[in-house]
Amino acid sequence: MPLFSRRQIVGAGGVALSALVLPVLPLSASAAVTKVGLLLPGKRDDGGFMQAGYAGFEQAVSELKLDAVVVDGVRPQKDELVAALRKLAADKPQVIAAHGGQCNEAAKVVAADHPDIQFLVIQGGVEGANLTSYEVLQEESAWLAGAAAALLTTTGVVGHISGIRVPPGLKGRAAYAAGVAHAKPDVKLLTTFCGEQDDVALAHKVAVAQADAGADIIFTMLNAGRPGAIAACREKKIRQIGNVRDWGPVAPDVFVASAIADVGIAMRNAVSDAASGRLVPGKHVKLGVSSGNAVRLALAPEVPADVRAKVEAYAADIALGKIRVSTEYSGVEFQP
């Protein structure tokens, strides 16, 4: 039985998302909202950020019995994102969700042209009369990932790999670096933005280069390119920390931890709030380690108890405001 009772899908076909389970709460749609749209500047089946957002969107649509139109596979370039949002707006949904901070500027442009549509940016940082951002503070779990990497490394060198330089990715890198420095200031960090989230060969190349430079744990903020980094870690016999979801069950021999930032929860909340009349226009809604399981660090079973205890203490301090998570990085970058 299809998840959407009535829908138009533009782009790739649907995929099974059983690994991305979101909490179910009873919802009812506002009479004014019957159709919602979604823009994904990537692949809905990327196994990471885009797939998590798509899962959250599908859950909200299914619960509220809404019509839906989805555009995915769009390159993260402003002009292409603007065109995709305009295409969605032409279908006259009452709500459009754009997934990722790379949609910030495009959403501002198109929202201004369509005041009758409520626009949402997940992991965004823009607000307006009909424009609202929902953000999972992935920098908080990234900070914990950095602390764990510093505590677990045996070489004294840890890595970070991301793709494009969007605000959430830059914040995540800065927070990871801050976590490393907080836990063990003498640990060296190798950090690379390779320019592509979905390039398997490129992710493999960068991970191998970081391993050859001494990194024995690499934090990856990638989408469909992640299998390349997984293969490189296996070849080099090093460990990886994943992001967005818990990657431990996928490759327990590779992943020592996962910096969970469940953007599916943010997407589901945003769409359901907008469709149910609970949304506050112009508000920037943030979910962090103090907001339940949306943001946390999942550790592999073999992580020593003392490291686990330190990470838990750090998480509590972040929630209480005793640790301020830095989102600015001015250090050097590793060129593979």
pLDDT digits (tens, 9 = 90+) for 6-43: 333 333 333 333 334 344 344 445 558 999 999 999 99
Query: Which residues span the domain enclosing 100?
Result: 7-137+263-287
| Residue 236 and residue 252 in one domain | yes
Q: Are 34 and 67 in contact (CB under 8 A)?
A: yes
pLDDT digits (tens, 9 = 90+) for 241-277: 999 999 999 999 999 999 999 999 999 999 999 999 9
Q: What average pLDDT score do residues 206-223 get?
A: 98
CATH number of the domain where residue 153 is located? 3.40.50.2300
Structural domain total, the chain? 2
User: What local confidence, expressed as pLDDT, does residue 46 receive?
Assistant: 87
- Say yes or no: 98 and 12 in one domain: yes
User: Looking at the structure, do residues 42 and 162 belong to the same domain, yes or no?
Assistant: no
As to burial, measured by CB atoms within 10 angstroms (0-12 exposed, 13-18 middle, 19+ buried), residue 210 is buried
Asked whether residue 26 is domain-assigned, the answer is yes
Q: Is the pLDDT of residue 329 over 50?
A: yes
Q: Are residues 127 and 271 in the same domain?
A: yes
- Residue 283's pLDDT is 87
Is residue 181 within 8 A of residue 148, CB to CB? The reply is: no
Residues 229 and 313 both lie in one domain: yes
Alpha carbon distance 164, 195 (integer Å): 5
pLDDT in tens, 181-201: 999 999 999 999 999 999 999
Q: Kindly state whether residues 271 and 127 are assigned to the same domain.
A: yes
Does 104 lie in the same domain as 181? Answer: no
Q: Are strands 239-244 and 255-261 parallel, antiparallel or unpaired?
A: parallel
